[in-house]
Amino acid sequence: MDLDTFRKSLDDWLDEHADELAPSFPGHGSVELQQEQIGKVRRLTYDAGFARWGWPELVGGHGGSALLRAYLNEALAARDLVETGLYALSEVLGPSFITFARPELSAAVVPRLLRGDEVWCQGFSEPGTGSNLAMLTCRAERTGDGWRVSGQKVWTSLAQLADRCVLLTRTGTLESAHRGITALFVDMDSPGITVRPLETMHGEPEFCEVFYDDVAVPFDRTIGEEGQGWAFAMDLLPYERSTALWQRAALLHRRLQQLVEAAAPGALDPVALGEVVQQVHAFRARSRATQHRLASGEDLGSATSVDKVALATTEQALFDLAAAALPDEVLLADGPTAGRWRKEFLYSRAATIYGGSAEIQRNIIARRLLELGPDR
């Protein structure tokens, strides 16, 4: 399957099934509604075959270039069919899971993620370790019949709706730092798990605190080998900063067009608008190049920190412009359209914080790409 054929047949299919695919709610919607919509879109696109391209046959995919997957994601965002931040979890977790987990485990569970039968979440951050991931303390003890997990995670997106969690645990000593970390695949209905959603500034409990109290996890749910958790996380983070962002680029382009349509005459300063258009364009150009490099098998690693810095800067600039041009919608007005501008404006404030803060990304760029040596 080549990209142009895929693009054409997907576009036609999306047009034909527009009514069926459309969200049942106007505007931004609650996390529950958004996730329900994502589940519906995943099921329809999977059953029609589109969501299987770009994934290996092992997990029910049709194979083919990862660019096919990227185009599906782009097309869904460009039509406002899914909330991209939540939808992207499959792009973030899927590829590394397949690389590290036992093939039997991947074959059993990844198709369920791709078809929308299951929601997964990513249990990485802890109250004491946000940026300093290597010092995580959520403990997994080896017992006769499996792991016993005790500890606390925080900022776990969608934990309240998730069926499974990809969880980083400490299996070595704290002094072993990144070497003593193991990744586990945990059923969220296991006894001992308590989820407490956190109310956020944009009004949606998108992420949660999750408490693990002596939770049993079978050994065959270890993702990779014991002690490979750091390698797994390092493999995964570049996806969080690359494939997921192409979809974001499509969304920003759509919002920019909507902003131009919605702004009253004189409300948009041409210079400010021109600069944001240039930023959105350059970010998209960068993200496109990244998708092509990834699809050709290049290992991007730290270079994706440039993509993340670009996204965060661009997204904030776009929504700052929206707030300046549509102050009533963003700040005060009722209704679904104003509600969405408001929520997305507020959510954009987090773009320099989530997925590795802007400071951490610049540290990575300085250390790995500019080779400036250690910083302490």
Partner 1 sequence: MIERGDLELFGRSLRQAVDGATGAELDAALDELGWIDVVRADPAAGISLLFSLQGRALATSSALDRLLALRLGLEVPAVVLPATGRWAAPGTVTGGRLAVDGLGTATIGDAGAVLVVAEDDGSATTVETGSLDLHPLPGIDPALGLVRVRGEVALGAGDRTGRVDWSSAVAWGQLAVGHELVGASRRMLELARRHALDRVQFGQPIARFQAVRHRLAETLVALDLADAALEAAWLDPTPESAAIAKAVAGRAGRTATRHCQQVMGAIGFTTEHDLHRYIRRVLVLEQLFGGTAPLTRHLGEEILDRRRVPAAIPL
Residues labelled catalytic? 240
Of positions 183, 250, 330, 338, contacts partner 1 by CB under 8 A: 250
74 binds partner 1 (CB under 8 A): yes
Q: How many residues bind partner 1 (CB under 8 A)?
A: 52
Residue number, 31 or 256, with CB nearest to partner 1: 256
Helix axes 229-240, 89-100, angle to 10 degrees: 150
Of positions 1, 3, 22, 346, contacts partner 1 by CB under 8 A: 3
Q: How far is the CB of 370 from partner 1 (least distance, A)?
A: 6
372 binds partner 1 (CB under 8 A): yes
Of positions 177, 198, 273, 346, contacts partner 1 by CB under 8 A: 273
Of positions 105, 107, 135, 272, contacts partner 1 by CB under 8 A: 272
178 binds partner 1 (CB under 8 A): no
Determine the Cα–Cα distance for residues 159 and 251; give it in Å rounded to an integer. 24
Question: Other C-beta atoms within 10 Å of 74: how many?
Answer: 25
Report 44-73 residues binding partner 1 (CB under 8 A).
67, 70-71
Binding mask 279-318 for partner 1 (x = CB under 8 A): -xxxxxxx-xx-x--------------x--xx--------
Q: How far is the CB of 207 from partner 1 (least distance, A)?
A: 27
Q: How far is the CB of 232 from partner 1 (least distance, A)?
A: 26
Residue number, 228 or 258, with CB nearest to partner 1: 258
Q: How far is the CB of 94 from partner 1 (least distance, A)?
A: 19
Report 199-238 residues binding partner 1 (CB under 8 A).
none
Residues that bind partner 1 (CB under 8 A): 3, 7, 67, 70-71, 74, 78, 246, 249-250, 253, 256-257, 260-261, 268-275, 277-278, 280-286, 288-289, 291, 306, 309-310, 359, 361-363, 365-367, 369-370, 372-376
